[in-house]
Amino acid sequence: FHITGHPGNVGKRIEYKHLDIPSGADGQLGAGSSGVVKRVFHRLTKTYFAMKILQTENADSKQLVRELELSVDKLRHKHCKYLVTSYEAFFRTKKLCILMELMEYGSLADVLKVVKR
């Protein structure tokens, strides 16, 4: 299963097999109640992305549907420079993986912490 939408620098569909995904806690950017976000590398374009990895086994199906709907909605608004872009979504080994734009400075909360100093 794929949801596709990405900018010209990526060009065409991103395949899961071309992504380097760190194992364990390596490359982890954040974590929440439903999963983790990792920094992943696309070998063909030499581009870094963020990947939200949601556990689907024993997960709240309503939460998974909301995450998927949010990703699809982001794809519809992919040209808005104020929204993080979602590029692909993959179902792999009881996980929903959503490939997103990697924000250089982290989340809005991370930026606000630095600005307040």
Q: Which residue has the tokens 């929204």?
A: 83
Q: What does the block give as tokens for 33? A: 């109640």
Q: Is 52 annotated as a binding residue?
A: yes
Q: What does the block give as tokens for 111? A: 């930026």
At 117, is the secondary structure helix, strand, or coil? coil
DSSP code of residue 72: H
User: What residues are designated binding site?
Assistant: 52
Would you list which residues are annotated within the binding site for ATP? Answer: 52
